Amino acid sequence: MNIDTKARAVGCMIGAAYGDALGAPVEFMSYEEIVAKHGAEGIDVPDVRWEGLPPGIITDDTQMAMATANGILDSPGQGDVLENIFKRYLEWREYIRHNRRGAGKTCRESLDSGVMGTIEKPLNEGKGCGGVMRAHPVGIAFRESPERAFEIGMRSGAITHGTPEAYVPSGVIASIVSHIFFGATLEGAAKMALVQAENLGEEKSRETVNFLKMALDAATDQAVQTIHDKLSVPNATMKGGGWLGYDALAIGLYAARVSLDDPVKAVKIAVNHSGDSDSTGDITGAMMGAIFGPEPFLKELDKTGIALEHREELISMGERLAIWQP
């Protein structure tokens, strides 16, 4: 497979958005409910989530990933990347007052404060996956330095989420994507990112490291829901898992691992479980898109006749990120 930088970048943006759109209709459903509605194989074509909107609609995950991408693209010669990402998040916060798309509470409230969160000055106790779901563009942009991808990825998460359980996974996904651009296998990329997380020390990296190891060690022939149950942090208020930064990352990585030669199937695995399906689909799609490029996802969309929202914009963003230099 001969995939160039542009195809990887576009694939990462499109794959993540595809996963978000496929997972959106089943985000708050249990596995049993998904199977009851979509059959034993689960959902396999992006369906309607919000009444009045067509299938293929993306959620806050892709909106925020696009804001991350735009913040980076604003940046050459124009100051700090993180400041610009923050400005784009503030812009997104205004936009979603009219177009909410399931935006998470931590993201909304932290941006409402008008203060940019940092690792040194955390804004809140947020552990959610709102950072990790939007950090893959950082990995594209900083593809030549996995160290910077990890650091900027973490800091982009800390803009809204104050705990290492949220921002370390944001660094890990950015690092995994950057390592893939370097030609690493998924497994190799994940292991290198794992070491980066470990180097932060146990206090900061414990959960992320433990869950990454579980995702890497899990036998690939286990029933999908079984492994989702194992990788999920039980949440008293919501069904299933993938709601927190580190379990969303682990489920996303696991789904990619079990379908290494079929990116569309990997995303399908990532969304068909009890929990935060759009975010886990987004994470798997980002990894698999960086490996395979956009074609498998675009072909699937063409085959099913689904119009992925922002499709052309996402392609353009990927193309511009592919030539962006820090």
Binding map of Mg ion across residues 144-183, x = CB under 5 A, - = no contact: ----------------------------------------
Question: Any contact of residue 326 with Mg ion (CB under 5 A)?
Answer: no
In whole angstroms, what is the distance from residue 154 CA to residue 111 CA? Answer: 17
* Nearest distance in Å: CB 148, Mg ion: 27
User: Which range in 160-168, 264-272, 273-281, 294-302 contacts Mg ion by CB under 5 A?
Assistant: 273-281
Q: How many residues bind Mg ion (CB under 5 A)?
A: 5
DSSP string of 243-307, one letter each residue: -BHHHHHHHHHHHHHHTTT-HHHHHHHHHSSSB-HHHHHHHHHHHHHHHH-SHHHHHHHHHHT--
Judge whether 324 and 141 are in contact, CB under 8 Å: yes
CB of 104 to Mg ion, least distance (A): 7
Which amino acid belongs to residue 271?
V
Q: Report the SS3 class of residue 50.
A: coil
What would the two tokens of residue 299 be? 């072909």
Question: Footprint of Mg ion on residues 47-76 (CB under 5 A)?
Answer: 59-61
Instruction: CB nearer to Mg ion: give 75 or 110.
Output: 110
Binding segment toward Mg ion, per CB under 5 A, in 6-14, 120-128, 277-285, 310-318: 277-285
Rounded to the nearest 10°, the torsion over CA 87, 24, 166, 317 is -40
Q: What is the DSSP string of 126-159?
A: --BTTTGGG-HHHHHHTTT-HHHHHHHHHHHHHT
Greatest Cα pair distance in the chain: 53
User: Which pair of tokens denotes residue 272?
Assistant: 């068909």
Instruction: Please tell me the distance from the alpha carbon of residue 266 to that of residue 72, in angstroms, as a whole number.
Output: 28
Instruction: Select the span of 29-37, 101-109, 154-162, 206-214 touching Mg ion (CB under 5 A).
Output: 101-109
Q: Does 278 bind Mg ion (CB under 5 A)?
A: yes
Q: Which is nearer to Mg ion, 22 or 176 (CB)?
A: 22
Nearer to Mg ion, 104 or 153 (CB): 104
Instruction: Note whether 309 binds Mg ion by CB under 5 A.
Output: no
Measured from the CB of residue 113, what is the shortest distance to Mg ion in angstroms?
Answer: 21
CB 281 within 8 A of CB 270: yes
Closest-by-Cβ residue to Mg ion is 59
Q: Phi and psi for 32 in degrees, rounded to 5?
A: -60, -40
Residue whose CB is less far from Mg ion, 16 or 322? 16
**Binder among 87, 102, 213, 230 for Mg ion (CB under 5 A):** 102
Single out the residue of 123, 115, 149 nearest to residue 135, CA to CA.
Answer: 149
Instruction: Report the nearest approach of Mg ion to the CB of residue 60 (Å).
Output: 5
Q: Given the rule CB under 5 A, which residues bind Mg ion?
A: 59-61, 102, 278
